[in-house]
Every structure is written in structure tokens, then in C-alpha cells.
A and B are shown apart, each in its own frame.
Chain A
Amino acid sequence: MTARGALRLLGGAAVVLWGAFTVSFAILYLLPSDPVSIMLSQSAESLDPAQVQALRERHGLDRPLPEQYLTQLGNALTGDLGTSVTTGAPVTDLLAEALPHTAALAGLALLLAVLAGTGIAVLASWTRARWLRAALLALPPVGVAVPGFWVGLVLLQLFSFTWYVFPAVGQDGFASLVLPAVTLAVPLSATIAQVLARGLDEAWRAPYADTAFGAGASRNRVLGAHVLRNGSLPTVTLIGVLTGNLLGGTVVVETVFSRQGLGRLAEQAVTTQDIPVVQGLVLTGALVFVVAGLLADLAHPLLDPRLRGRRAAPAPRAVPA
């Protein structure tokens, strides 16, 4: 990767982050409601107009929108994402506090998903038993279709309330992490298995596989030397995209398992319509997506010599969370 290429990647990432800021600002501030009136509609106690005005001034909402936008953008650049309307705590503090819990959950889920997805796809591609292949390939569509919140509840019912294997709530130690991570990993692994299986099938049918067979290579050798590497190229990009979208999945999972984390923070912020926190979470989500995309872009040339020295392939369409 040349220095210029790296700069271009970083520049693109910065543009996307700025865009995400602008989009979230547009959604949250241009739509008719404003944070204070939303907050007032939520709170039971009524405030007198002077108090409302004071609140508006505190959040800078009395100024014209372009000015608000520029001020907020400037603050965001210096790491200030404002304060929570409900608790008054700085948004960055709330995010920083929640991040480690979510990172642990997401990391374990991603690991499980990659292992399970790869296992399913490679075994389905390798086996010559048609029934096994059919059975394996029937799994991913189911994994994508079952609602995450439902999987979580069923797991809880079985492992916590019936068999008492894992704790139902809380976040003490590894045991409490297992069920949420499995729940989060189900749709991820299904998507990975689908894309990888398709990639492997294409690689088996590619002319270079025929060339290798024609030279006398065995099935296992063709799989190991050619099919796995070529067939997994699209999956690398996919894993980047999935990682970027993980934050969406954690909202449901952390709510189901009553865990503290970014997802739970999001659920609470939306419930109380705490606009600065929601905006901070949207930005965090975009940041994770951009970083994951950068890592995938950097990993791609390592696997595909055609991409060395040029810009990495564009990401495939994002998979809806």
C-alpha cells in the first residue's frame, strides 16, 4: 500500500464520518421536533417558559440551524459530543463507559460467527454426500430468518430457566457472555456461511480448478491450494461489513439479556428521546463501520495480488442488520 493510497483511504473514511454526522444532524434536528420539546413531552413535570428557554439556551437550540450545525461539528471534531438531555452526563463519557462491555460481546460473537460460518460452508463444499450438503446449506436461510430477540429469549428459556447452565442476566464473567454472543452470532454466521459457500462453489467451477485437475491434482489439493483462497475473497469484505453493522444487533441482544453496553444505551436513549446520545451512537456506529471497512480494505491485497498497488474492491451491499 502506497502512502498515497493510504491517504486516499483515510480521506474517504473522514468524508464518510462527516457525512454520517450530517445525516444524523439532518434527521434529528431538521425534522419538526426539537430535543427540548421532545424531552418536555416525556417528562411528567411541567416547566415554565423561562425554564424552557434556559434549557434551549443550554443546548444551543435558540440559535439558527446552520450555526448549530457548525458549532456541533466543531465540537465533535474536538471530541465533544454534547451532554445527555436526561442525565446531563457528557455523551462521550456514556459511550466510553458502555464500549468495553459491547466490545467483549461483539468480539466473541464475531469469533463464533466466523468459526461456525466457515465450518458450515467448507464442510458443505468439501463433502460429496449430497444429503449432508443439502442439510448444511439449509441452515443459513433459517439463521437469517429467525428474529434475534426470539433466539435470545428461547436460549434464555432453555439454558437459564430450564437447565440453569448460564445466568439469565448480569455481566459477571465469561458465563454471562455466552448466550448473548451466541444470539448475536446466529445471523452473522448464517450470512458468512451463505457468502462463503457461494464463493467456494464458484471457485470449484472456475477454469483454474479445471487446470489443476487437468494437471493431476486431487480434490483436497485443489481445495487447499486454489478453492479456499479464491473462494474466501468476498467473505473478507463481508466480515468487514458485518463488523460495521454489529452495533445494530447489540441493541436487541443487550436489551434481551439486560446487559449494559452501547446497544442498551441506544435503547434507553431512544426511549427517553435523548437526542445527543442517539447522535453520539450513530456516529460511533459509523466510526466502527469505517474502521472495519478500512481493515478489510487493507487485508484484501494480502489475499489478492491483483489488488496490490491499487484501490481495494468496493464493499458489496451491506447486509441489513
Chain B
Amino acid sequence: MSAARTGRDMTRGLRRPGAVVAVLILLVLTAWAVAPGAFTAHDPVTGIPAERLLPPGPGHWFGTDHLGRDLFARTVHGTGLTVRAALLAIAVALGGGAAIGLIAGFSGGVLDDVLMRGIDVVLAIPGLLLSLAVVTALGFGTVNVALAVGVASAPVFARVMRSRALHVRHAGYVEAARLAGSGPVAIVLRHVLPNAAGPVLVLAAVELGAVALAVSSLSFLGFGATPPTPEWGALIAEGRDYLAVAWWYTALPGLVLAAGVLAAGRLGRTFEAEGRHAR
């Protein structure tokens, strides 16, 4: 009876209209990232000089840029880089942050104090400035930007992981496991990690959009992908110089980015609400 019920509970939130639209948007973006060539016949890198700065129309859905390149093609081909950078950043934040949080939360005492003080310090530096410092040290490029954003996002994961680990550590069943004779490693692996992982993974979903935004912001500032390569932030930056004559240059790729971030955030919050409900 109940197994079926919990299964239904977990997917119920996904059936709301907003979540359905969010899933559709994310599916389209994933498809663009995996197989951009299937969605556009235009070349994203070499343009046709005769077709410079054409407004959106049947031939060029998003119009063309100052070199006569199809902007829809550039947006579609830029998806992969942006998504991969965001996923790399999330992986860095999740891996590093969760490890620190788990150690702090489960060890307690002085180690916990020191680690959390460190996290407080990193949180005191505005995220974008911290990312900029890392980029300064590592050099420019999409991978470095992703690493930098990941480092700046890690403290949030550390905090959530720690608070979950602490919560679970003090739960009755962990005490019962101790009394039953289980050692600390067994308790972490069997009780703490499985019960703490859910909220942290949900946080990863929630943060994915924010991280994609941060990566794009750094690219927009010119620290990410180098010019001919299509990437959303860089793409929009190129359009800056043509604001007065080609509104589509910045507006349409920006809309795609906003839609993606909004969809990721919507889905993350759905998971978050479901997780809270299930607990």
C-alpha cells in the first residue's frame, strides 16, 4: 500500500503545470547541448558577411550578428559549453562542500569549529569577487571559470551538509546504532550519509541555475570562452556594441539563458518542497 503511495508523493509535484514547463525547457536545452547540429543547419562560427545584423525572421529565428552568423545557431551551439561549465561547477561545489560539511558535522568539537569558521570566512567574501580572485590566479577560460564558481559555491553545500549531518547524528536511530555496537564508520556510511544526501542533492538542483548564471556572468565579463567559441555570456557581451541597432543580438540569447535558469530553479524548488514533504 504505502510503497505505491510514497512513489506517487514523490512525483506529484512534477505534475504541476509550472514544473511540466520547466521540465520541457530543460529537456530542450539538454537536447541542444547533446546534439546541437540536429536543431540548426547554420554554422555557428563562420558567418555570411552579406547577412550582417539581420533581424529575426524565417531564415534566422534569432537574427544574425555583426559577422553574419546565425544567432540561433550560436545560441544552440553555446548550450553545451554553458551547461558543461555549470555541471562542473556544481560538481566541484558538491564534492568539496559536502566533504567538508560531513567531516565538520560528524566529528564535532574543535575540528568542526575550525572548519565552520573557515566556511564563514569564505562566505564573507562576495561570491563573484571570490570567483574573480580564483580566475585571476588560474587564468582565463571556461574550465577555470567553472572551477572558480564551484569554489565560491562550495560553502553553501558545506553548511547544508553539516546541518543535516548534525541533525542525523543526534537522531534517535544513530544513538540506537551506537548502543547496538556499530562503529563510527558504519554509522556514517549506513545512517548519516544516506539520510543527509537527499537535501544536499536537492540543493545541487536548486543551485544549478544560480551557478549557470554566475558562469555566464564571468563569461560576459570576458574571462571565459575566447571569442569565436559560442557561449551564452560571451555571446551577449558581443551584442553590447550593437545595442542601438540590433536588439535581438542580446535580447534573444538572454531570454534563453533566463528561461533555463528559471526552469532549473523551478525544478529545484519542486524537489525541495517534495523532500520537505516526504520527511
Contacts and interface: CB of A to CB of B under 8 A. Distances in A.
Direct A–B touching in the complex (beta carbon < 8 Å)?
yes
Interface of A: 15-17, 19-20, 22-24, 27-28, 31, 33, 38, 141-142, 144-150, 153-154, 156-157, 161, 168, 244-249, 251-252, 255-256, 266-267, 269-271, 273, 275, 278-279, 281-282, 285-286, 288-290, 293, 317-318, 320-321
Interface string B118-135: 101111111111101111
B216 A144 contact: no
B61 interface: no
Number of chain B interface residues as a range: 35 or more
A20 B124 contact: yes
Contacts of B127: 245, 248, 318, 320-321
13 contacts: A15-B117, A20-B121, A27-B130, A38-B136, A157-B243, A247-B128, A252-B221, A255-B221, A281-B132, A286-B121, A289-B124, A320-B210, A321-B214
Secondary structure at the A interface, as helix, strand, loop or mixed, is: helix
Contact of B129 (A146, A156, A273, A282): A282
A161 B243 contact: yes
Nearest to B118: A19
Contacts of A161: 243-244
B83 to A, nearest CB: 15
Nearest to B219: A149
Contacts of A16: 120-121, 124
Contacts of B216: 147, 149
B121 A19 contact: yes
Given A31-B137, A320-B214, A144 B265 contact: yes
B271 interface: no
A33 B137 contact: yes
B128 A157 contact: no
B46 to A, nearest CB: 26
B126 A271 contact: no
Contact of B133 (A244, A282, A293): A282
A266 B223 CA distance: 12
B27 interface: no
A303 B127 CA distance: 29
A27 B126 contact: no
Given A27-B134, A27-B137, A150 B236 contact: yes
A149 B136 contact: no
B258 A147 contact: yes
A72 to B, nearest CB: 15
B91 interface: no
A244 B124 contact: yes
Contacts of B137: 27-28, 31, 33, 275
Nearest to B126: A248
Interface in B123-166: 123-130, 132-139, 152-153, 155-156, 159-160
Nearest to A274: B136
